[in-house]
Amino acid sequence: MAYLLDCPQPLAVYYDALLLDLDGVCYRGKSAIAHAPASLEKAVASGAELRFITNNSARPPAVVAAHLNAIGIAAKEEEVINSALTTAEQIRAHCAPGSKLYVIGGQGVWEALQDAGYELVDSAADNPVAVVQGLSETASWVELSEAVLAIKAGAKHFATNLDATLPRERGEMIGNGSLVAAVTNATGSEPIVSGKPNSFMYEYAVRKISARRPLAVGDRLDTDIIGANRAGYASLHVLTGVSSARDIMQATPLERPSFLGIDLQDLHMPMPKVEKKAATWECAGHSAEVKAGILEIDGVIYHAENSPVISLPQYRAATCAVWDYTDNASTDGQIALPDFQVQRSA
């Protein structure tokens, strides 16, 4: 059985559309992630079409595109797909144009809903037919309480995404999902969500550009990778954002990506085959095996208290060995894993 896909061509050559997460993949806060601008410029030159897919609904696509251009990543407004746009698309299936909506969110949410023809109100007393929650950095108790009142009065509940946190330069900060959780805790209602890990955003993007072989690129297992798997699209995980190498090794089947990389440079690398031979998993001359819950890479035993550096082929072989063990071990399949640091050559 194969856990990871192999691709003898660079991914940016084989896949005709790259569905790129933003926070943690292209940038962190106001700064581009290392190698992202050059890697994406090279991807376009290789023939790949780019779409920037973000759960962050606060900023309109034009603002996001301007940010990308300012940090050296060429982008057009129409190449940005945020969860405000996809939420507006979802709402069309439930609420007629002209309906009243109570909205919590940034400028991106307000613009997307106004452009879709809805009347936006600021109180539950206006009898909105739906509540829409997007990320708002100034959301207050009053606004959240109005949302609760409207939902309890019968309004449908929509959320642009359920991200618990948002990566910024200083670390992980509160995300829209944490604010949505406050409203759902008070109402007992579960919102309709368009953002990742729902597959809707990816499917929307692919429909817009008629892609034949899309590749999702992300840093989070619980959003980017699950969303790609639910859509049936291949995915590349990079280690420049939230989910670590250890997180990858501990991933459930739904969270597992198709390819493993370090950063966007890996769009231009062939992906070597990772295959099982006897009890070991091998990749580009390196091998890994789990024996009685202990991981060995190239014959070296790794313990949980270490923070070792391993190469990219070692990482790929070790990940498949751990997945194989957790899926098939007669015990509970738990492995004490260290906090691996992955380099192109260790």
> Does residue 75 belong to any structural domain of this protein?
no
Among candidate residues 6, 16, 23, 163, the one labeled active-site is 23
- The residue out of 167, 193, 219 marking a domain boundary is 193
Whether 247 is a known active-site residue: answer no
Among candidate residues 6, 21, 332, 339, the one labeled active-site is 21
- Note the pLDDT of residue 63: 95
pLDDT tens-digit series, residues 252-298: 999 999 999 999 999 999 999 999 999 899 999 999 999 988 999 99
Given a cut of 50, the residues of the chain with pLDDT beneath it are none
Task: Work out how many domains the chain is built from and give that number.
Answer: 3
> Does residue 171 belong to any structural domain of this protein?
yes
Instruction: Identify whether residues 229 and 135 lie together within a single domain.
Output: no
Whether 327 is a known active-site residue: answer no
pLDDT tens-digit series, residues 129-183: 999 999 998 999 999 999 999 999 999 999 999 988 876 778 878 889 999 999 9
- Note the pLDDT of residue 230: 97
> Does residue 3 belong to any structural domain of this protein?
no
Instruction: Identify whether residues 173 and 185 lie together within a single domain.
Output: yes
- The residue out of 172, 193, 214 marking a domain boundary is 193
Instruction: Identify whether residues 239 and 171 lie together within a single domain.
Output: no
> Does residue 189 belong to any structural domain of this protein?
yes
Q: Which domain holds residue 44?
A: 11-55+197-268
- Note the pLDDT of residue 332: 67
pTM of the model: 0.91
The 3-state secondary structure of the chain reads CCCCCCECCCHHHHCCEEEECCECCCEECCEECCCHHHHHHHHHHCCCEEEEEECCCCCCHHHHHHHHHHCCCCCCHHHEEEHHHHHHHHHCCCCCCCCEEEEECCHHHHHHHHHCCCEEECCHHHCCCEEEECCCCCCCHHHHHHHHHHHHCCCEEEECCCCCEEEECCEEEECHHHHHHHHHHHHCCCCEECCCCCCHHHHHHHHHHCCCCEEEEECCHHHHHHHHHHHCCEEEECCCCCCCHHHHHCCCHHHCCCEECCCHHHHHCCECCEEEECCEEEECCEEEEEECCEEEECCEEECCCCCCEEEHHHHHHHHHHHHHHHHHCCCCCCCCCCCCEEECCC
Instruction: Identify whether residues 283 and 230 lie together within a single domain.
Output: no
What does DSSP say about strands 80-82 and 49-54: parallel, antiparallel, or unpaired? Answer: parallel
Q: CATH number for the domain including 123? A: 3.40.50.1000
- The residue out of 174, 193, 212 marking a domain boundary is 193
> Does residue 296 belong to any structural domain of this protein?
yes
- Note the pLDDT of residue 152: 98
